[in-house]
């Protein structure tokens, strides 16, 4: 519906010329603030790019964390194996000394 049609309908509904004009002006102001299909399409494209960028960052962080976790796990395994070996040596030594 265009502005002229709205104006005519308001006049037919017994609005004064001034009231109709204010309503039309307010309506036009509000319509100018609405997003167009083009605006939405552009925003959608920008959001997809942003999401793809964030996914890439997440993947890099995940790779880095997995690498660090693997290193820590290896250190823990070496510590545990070293402790077990030390316990064995200590036990064997104590057995030898107790004879």
Q: Is the pLDDT of residue 86 over 70?
A: yes
Cα separations in angstroms, 27 against 6, 40, 53, 80:
10, 21, 39, 75
> How does 51-84 read in b/e, with b if 16+ C-beta sit within 10 Å?
eeeeeeeeeeeeeeeeeeeeeeeeeeeeeeeeee
Q: Is the pLDDT of residue 32 over 80?
A: no
What is the pLDDT at residue 77?
97
Q: Is the pLDDT of residue 24 over 90?
A: no
Position 7 confidence tier, pLDDT thresholds 50, 70, 90: confident
What does the alpha-carbon distance between residue 25 and residue 19 come to, in Å, rounded to a whole number? 10
Position 33 confidence tier, pLDDT thresholds 50, 70, 90: confident
Q: Is the pLDDT of residue 38 over 80?
A: yes
| Residue that wins the pLDDT comparison between 43 and 33 | 43
């Amino acid at each position: 519906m265009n502005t002229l049609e709205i104006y005519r309908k308001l006049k037919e509904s017994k609005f004064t010329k001034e009231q109709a004009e204010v309503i039309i002006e307010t309506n036009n102001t509000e319509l100018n603030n609405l997003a167009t299909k083009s605006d939405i399409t552009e925003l959608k494209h920008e959001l997809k790019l942003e999401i793809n960028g964030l996914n890439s960052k997440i993947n890099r962080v995940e790779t880095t964390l997995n690498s660090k976790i693997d290193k820590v796990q290896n250190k823990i395994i070496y510590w545990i194996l070293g402790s077990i070996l030390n316990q064995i040596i200590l036990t064997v030594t104590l057995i030898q000394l107790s004879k």
